[in-house]
A and B are shown apart, each in its own frame.
Chain A
């Protein structure tokens, strides 16, 4: 079942979200289920087939196909000049990609895990983010930094960080994070096409999730611009009327499960999948919150000084008079990501989300 819907806000000028969402809640399409990983892999392959300047490199991405196999088969199909292994050095990978982008290539690079992108932080914050601005747009850097991120897979230390806030806080970077198989394909194609650098954050717990998606049809739609872009457009993953859950990446499926559970108790929750953290779709978020009057923001990352706190702040600034209750958050604790046996206590859960929804002052407001 494919539930992602392109939205609709006054700013985007699309049809009504609820109508579109209802239309998309289709039954079994008879298509073979495709994994999130396959969608990403196909997106890269399709982009490479279309444009010779698209190059893929990183650690173990060649013969092995990446530790998560997301680049599987690319070296075999496109040769070692187009998809190749580098020495082990993340700053080197990002720095070399910058130079390649300066010289008319479109590098799509892989950081092996979230925390192992930190050695590249200087290159990302000081150059990837700033080159376009520094040169008044004369030196654009079309490049994609793919980062498997977040927890939920029982990973050990340094393999489960939700590092999106660092990038989102850095002007000049775009930050995309897909939550569905369909978006995995479309958003990666869009990121590769973008004239701006994109930090593309892949929720690793979703890699082996499946959905009935026709990747070939998506390729055609993307290449003929038959689908509206996802950049700056949140999706209404599930329409509802009583409160809005706002989530992205790995938290969308948790929010969906919470909405499902709330429905059994007679509460109609709308779920918004942010999709691109930068640029953020204020319009769709606010339209929903103005409609429901209540909101909970959900993210795995520690809540302090984070994307979730930014979303809450923006809602208060824009929707104050529509709010029936304070906007609440369900986030990771303000602690380092815990050891595997403890992660279930740390991660936002359905119960914790439902508790937050229950705390939205229903007595007075409703």
Chain B
């Protein structure tokens, strides 16, 4: 049972770009970027310098819509970090600085496409349409996952690193067997690329020629450990070649380039050309979580140097200079960001206590005898507590 499908697809897509499969698989010699740090559009000749790596500029409407999500994403990060500081939320891994990646990961997908996010990707999850308070349920300590993955086509935010990449592969595989054209985006961080499941997921996706976009947000650190201690590959995108898939690296603070690169990747995957690996070069501006102290492992000067590359400022400058941000639009965007922030504050203030009986309710489709006995024990304990009040 010789498998030629993946090889044929690779031949087909590379010949479309007029290059060899090997050249198609290799990322461009430098990362793709379209906006420079000052928000100026690079001349198109410099964006993707090689054949097969040219990316069309997304249309103005798509850019303004994405900018709106970018502003909301920044507001969500800042609001949640504030709630954590005030002790009103247990933990929040902020994606401050990575919002362009977050937004692009959601906007490149169609309605029926799936997303497999991590703990860091709350903004992406919201940008795909999950109600903000349903996302926050986990961080608030109400329940592990507060939303319905099937309804939103967003998997529960994964904590065990890269385990979710394999689930993404399975969802894509099931869809392909049924002849559906679902695309799946599977997200992880730079450190996570060292995990075994990263390797297994990429290999499975390539061998079965599945429409999965592996999207790595390289924010330079895995908690305290810098990328240089995870990998000495020329780039994380180069790892694609080892699996027989195409890799590309992109400026992760450049929303325009992200939309262009991820948009093309999704189109190629949907057409049956197999998986792709996209590495976005970005920076985690805050500590790993509120429990972390990043001054123990990185210099403040390094953090400062990334402020100049801020994804929000860069995008705003570009759109503004292109005349795409009239006053009314700015006001509308600010209002929607404030509305989400208010939802988060109000939600966090309501002292909802989860039902202890739920501990037993969902372990199996119906509780076992043992679980029913234990639930009765707890119910009895609670009833007695209530009596002594």
A115 at interface, CB cutoff 8 A: no
Report the minimum CB–CB distance from B261 to chain A (whole Å).
24
| Interface assignment of A135: CB less than 8 Å from any CB of chain B | yes
Is there a chain A Cβ closer than 8 Å to B149's Cβ? Answer: yes
A138 interface residue (CB < 8 Å to B): yes
Is the CB–CB distance between B370 and A279 below 8 Å? yes
Shortest beta-carbon distance from B1 to chain A in Å = 6
Contacts of A266 in B (CB 8 A): none
| Chain B 179-219 per-residue mask, 1 if CB under 8 angstroms from chain A, else 0 | 00000000000000000110011011001000000000000
Range for the number of chain A residues in contact with chain B: 35 or more
Q: Are A136 and B358 in contact (CB under 8 A)?
A: yes
A134 to B169, CA, bound (A): 20
Does A80 reach chain B (CB closer than 8 Å)?
yes
Contacts of A107 in B (CB 8 A): 170
Evaluate contact between B203 and A98: CB separation under 8 angstroms: no
Interchain nearest-CB distance for A318 vs B (Å): 11
Q: How far is the CB of B116 from chain A (nearest CB, A)?
A: 8
Task: Report the Cα distance A95→B198, complex, angstroms.
Answer: 11
Flag whether A262 is at the interface (Cβ < 8 A).
no
Contact of B148 among A55, A119, A138, A232 (CB under 8 A): A138
Find out whether the CB atom of B163 lies under 8 angstroms from the CB atom of A95: yes
The listed residue (B160, B200, B363, B370) touching A89 by CB distance below 8 A is B200
- In the complex, are the beta carbons of A92 and B200 less than 8 A apart? yes
Q: Counting chain B CB atoms within 10 Å of each CB, which of A122, A127, A135 scores highest?
A: A135
State the Cβ distance, A229 to closest chain B Cβ, in Å.
12
Bound-state Cα–Cα, A305 to B145, Å? 32
Query: With A99-B166, A132-B363 in contact, is A126–B160 under 8 Å at CB?
Result: yes
Given contacts A91-B200, A92-B204, is CB(A80)–CB(B1) below 8 Å? yes
Nearest residue, chain A, Cβ from B210: A96
Chain B residues contacting A75 (CB-CB under 8 Å) are 1
Q: Classify chain B's interface size.
A: 35 or more
Whether A96 pairs with B169 at a CB distance below 8 angstroms is: yes
Pair B364/A172 contact, Cβ less than 8 Å: yes
Whether A338 is near chain B, meaning CB under 8 Å from some CB there, is no
Query: A132-B363, A195-B365, A232-B369 are contacts. A99–B167 as well, Cβ < 8 Å?
Result: yes
Q: List A residues 85-136 near B (Cβ within 8 Å).
A: 85-87, 89, 91-92, 94-105, 107, 119, 122-123, 126-127, 130-136
Specify which of B144, B151, B173, B364 lies most central, judged by the most chain A CB atoms within 10 Å of its CB. Answer: B364
Q: Which residues of A contact B (CB under 8 A)?
A: 11, 55, 62-63, 75, 80-81, 84-87, 89, 91-92, 94-105, 107, 119, 122-123, 126-127, 130-140, 171-172, 174, 194-196, 232, 278-280, 282-283
Interchain residue pairs A-B with the least CB separation, the first 8: A99-B170, A95-B166, A92-B200, A103-B174, A99-B167, A279-B368, A195-B365, A96-B170
| Given contact pairs A95-B163, A102-B150, A103-B175, a sample of 11 additional A-B residue pairs in the complex whose CB atoms are under 8 Å apart | A87-B200, A96-B204, A98-B167, A122-B160, A123-B197, A126-B160, A134-B144, A134-B156, A135-B149, A279-B368, A282-B370
